Amino acid sequence: MLVIVPQFGLIQSLSPSLSTQLIVVSSYLVLVALLATVSQAVFDAGYEVTRKIVHIGTGNVIVLAWLLDVPSWLGISASVLFSLVT
């Protein structure tokens, strides 16, 4: 994220630490998983609805990672890991 500092006219890069990035992205993914689980258990949503919640919800991780300046090696590693698991 870029921030313009008015006093000096400089552009500074504000990037959260790697641990903060991991906590935010992981928390978001847990929230999506909980939402899908609750929708299936409480509201008796079918398999397709639950699958759509997960797919649409996890698609936003790319935008979240971009906003947090997550390193590309971390995103690629997570993608490979999840591809092997599923």
pTM of the entire predicted model: 0.74
In which residue are the tokens 């398999």 written?
Answer: 47
Give the span between the Cα atoms of 15 and 79, in whole angstroms.
Answer: 22
- For residue 24, the model assigns a pLDDT of 92
Q: How do residues 15-44 score in pLDDT, each as one tens digit?
A: 788 888 999 999 999 999 999 999 988 888
Pairing label, strands 10-13, 2-5:
antiparallel
Residue indicated by tokens 């990672």:
65
pLDDT tens per residue, range 1-10: 555 555 554 4
